[in-house]
Structures are given as C-alpha cells and as structure tokens.
Amino acid sequence: MKYIDEFQDPELARRLLDEIARTVTRPWAMMEVCGGQTHSIIRHGLDQLLPDTVELIHGPGCPVCVTPLAVIDKALEIASLPDVVFCSFGDMLRVPGSDRDLFRVKGDGGDVRVVYSPLDALRIAQRTPDKQVVFFGVGFETTAPAIAMTVHQAKRLGVRNLSLLVSHVRVPPAIEAVMRSPDCRVQAFLAAGHVCSVMGTSEYPALADTYRVPIVVTGFEPLDILEGIRRAVRQLERGEHHVENAYPRAVSAQGNPVALRVLREVFTTTDRTWRGIGTIPDSGWRLSDAYRDYDAEHRFDITGPAAAEPAVCRSGEVLQGLIKPHECAAFGIICTPRTPLGATMVSSEGACAAYYLYRRLSPPHTEEKASVD
C-alpha cells in the first residue's frame, strides 16, 4: 500500500507483480544496469514488492559514479587554470576529487560554469575567443553523441578555443566485466533503455549467447522495470537466454543511425578505468585522431596528482553488485550525500545515495514486505 498507489497504473503494476510471483519457482538474481533504474527501484520500493526469490543487484550504470578520481583531479586542475572557462553538467560539481570539488574551485575564483548541453560550451567558446573553453565530457552512450556533435560542429565552424576532457564509458563491456567476475551472481540483465535508444540492441545478442544470460532492454519508470523483470524471470524459468526489447516506444533494434555515424566518426573505443572497479578493456570512448586537437588532455600539460581513493569506501564493490550499499561500514555514518566518500553517494543516481535517501538501511528481504493489496 505504501508504494503501489504511487504508480501511474496501480492495477497494471499489481497484475505484473502477480504474474512474476506465479512464474517464479526458485531464486533468481538480476542486475539493472542503469542508475536511473536503480533510483526508480529504490524510490518506489520495487524490490520490496517483488517475491523474496527475485533479487535486484544494482549495476555500474551511473557515469558520474564511475568517473575515476584521477580524471576528476585533472578536471579540477584544468578548471583552476587562468584564462580557462570550465563547463560541466551540474551533477559533476560535488563529485569529490582528492582534495576538493568543482564547487570549491569556483569558490576559489575559477571560472566554472554549469551548462545544460555541451552546445552551450560551444556558444561560450564563440563568444569568448580570448579564453580556452573546456567541457567535461562524462556519460554513457546516451550522452556521447551530444559531445560528438559538439566537437564535430566546433571543427566545422572553425572554433579553436574549445576542447573536451573526455571520460565516456560504454555499457556492453561493463556487462561483460560483471559476468567475468569470479564472484558474479548475476543471472539476467535489465539493459539501460536510453543507451539503447541511441545504440540499438545489436551489441547484446553475442553477450547473451556467450554468457548464457537473458538481457531485457528496459525503461526506467516503475511499470517499465516491472515489465523488464517479468520478461527476465520468464526467460530464466524457461532456461532461455536471448535479447528482448521491453521498451519499444523508445528503442528500436537499429538505434539512432545518424547519431551512430557521428559517434563513430568523432570517437574511437579505448580501454577505460572505472572508479572502484579498475580498467575494463575497450570500455570507453576517446576522441579519434582526426579530432585530437580538441582533446583537453592533449591541449593542456596536465598530469593530475597521484590519486588514491579512500580506503574505507567500498563503492567499487557496490558498483559490481558484490555488496549492497548499507553493508559498507561507512554508509550513513561518515559517508552521506552531503559528505560523500565515493561517487556512488554523491550522485543522486548512485546506489548508495538512493539507499540513503529512501532510508533503506537494512537488507530489503529482512524488512517487512510492502503489501500489494
């Protein structure tokens, strides 16, 4: 009662939950990849409404969370330079570097600006030709095309005082890394819907086949997630492992062909370090050689300080689904959304912040279950 009345269509939610409960005959664990999905699941208490036998494991799908400390430190170093306008999405402001954040750099006199779109940074560069404008390019495949088009336009328009600090990551290699972990408990994936809006679903059949794991493309509204879970459970119970699209209103198999073309022109894949997880082969984008002049790391002589993450922070294990946020000793005590140790707490889409905000301080399946009636 506590949660289900908040649904857009409580009756449909009830029917989906009933069908999941009827279908499931033994325990299953599935991972939602997208941080927006994690946020929605915890906020609406979906994990409490599900049968005890269906466990949701929270995946590494928050780009803010997985941006390495060393890259944050580079951003802070560049943003502190004179004659630099440093532009970023708002949710990077409070991500802690080794000793400060972008908010502090701004307070200390740095020209740090929050923009809604990377095209805003291009406009700032056009209006302030005497400054170097740097944009912090963070995000998954949903965000990367916007950055790609910005660089593409800068080159086309001959704008030379714009560069990008790029830390883009790709979802499929992260899924592969999760499956290859010796501690992996994941038996199915709810794939991130808006990543697939851009990329389509062509990268997933090989993964589903190789690791014999169902992959269901899922939206992030409560009913979308329940439908994704229903389909994943159905496959698991039948012993199937293929790709299903449970979010067809926003995802087609081929994705967005125009975006893919620009993405592949401007970026090339590269090994990328994920905060708390380590290096995953081929898991990121970097600017291709044709756009190397727009790479801030190439343009500015920065090394970034030797960065070490706080030893007590277990966000890496949270990101891999090995522990739940409240199983970390620092959770809610010395690590809160206002005093975060790791980025899973500082980003509103991080699993730790979602657990903290919605007061999920004990394991979901030991709490009193929320009633569906």
Partner 1 sequence: MCLAVPGRVVGIEERNGTSMARVDFGGVVKDVCLAYLPEIEVGEYAIVHVGFAIQRLDEESALATLRLFERIGALDEEFGDAWARAAAESETASEEENR
Instruction: Point out which residues bind partner 1 (CB under 8 A).
Output: 6, 8, 34-36, 43, 61-64, 89-94, 103, 106, 114, 116-120, 138-140, 142-143, 145-146, 149, 153, 156-157, 194, 197-198, 221, 249-252, 256, 258-259, 262, 336-339, 348-349
CA angle 202, 204, 205 (to 5 degrees): 85
Residue 178 or 259: the one with the smaller Cβ distance to partner 1 is: 259
DSSP summary character for residue 295: B
User: Sheet harboring 243-245: ordered strands across?
Assistant: 54-58, 28-32, 188-192, 215-218, 243-245
Structure tokens at 17: 């939950």
Dist. CA 247–CA 258, nearest whole Å: 20
Residue 138 or 184: the one with the smaller Cβ distance to partner 1 is: 138
* Nearest C-alpha neighbor of 189 from the set 281, 321, 64: 321
Residue 82 CB, shortest distance to partner 1, in Å, is 21
User: Sheet harboring 278-287: ordered strands across?
Assistant: 111-114, 84-88, 132-139, 162-169, 278-287, 267-274
Residue 78 CB, shortest distance to partner 1, in Å, is 19
Residue 207 CB, shortest distance to partner 1, in Å, is 21
Residue 120 or 293: the one with the smaller Cβ distance to partner 1 is: 120
Dist. CA 134–CA 147, nearest whole Å: 12
Residue 92 or 280: the one with the smaller Cβ distance to partner 1 is: 92
Residue 255 or 364: the one with the smaller Cβ distance to partner 1 is: 255
Residue 280, classed as helix, strand or coil, is strand
Residue 145 or 228: the one with the smaller Cβ distance to partner 1 is: 145
Backbone φ and ψ of 228, nearest 5°: -60, -45
Residue 184 or 349: the one with the smaller Cβ distance to partner 1 is: 349
Whether 140 and 195 have beta carbons less than 8 Å apart is answered as yes
Residue 268 or 348: the one with the smaller Cβ distance to partner 1 is: 348
Residue 150 CB, shortest distance to partner 1, in Å, is 9
Q: Radius of gyration over alpha carbons of the chain, in Å? A: 21
Dist. CA 223–CA 213, nearest whole Å: 22
Residue 270 CB, shortest distance to partner 1, in Å, is 21
Residue 190 CB, shortest distance to partner 1, in Å, is 15
CB crowding 252-268: b at 16 or more within 10 Å, else e: eeebbeebbebbeebbe
Dist. CA 244–CA 139, nearest whole Å: 24
Residue 114 CB, shortest distance to partner 1, in Å, is 4
* Nearest C-alpha neighbor of 316 from the set 166, 143, 177, 211: 177
Structure tokens at 70: 């060393």
Residue 262 CB, shortest distance to partner 1, in Å, is 8
Residue 149 CB, shortest distance to partner 1, in Å, is 5
Residue 54 or 85: the one with the smaller Cβ distance to partner 1 is: 85
User: Which residues contact residue 232 at a Cβ distance below 8 angstroms, ignoring those fewer than 6 apart?
Assistant: 28, 30, 188, 189, 190, 214, 216
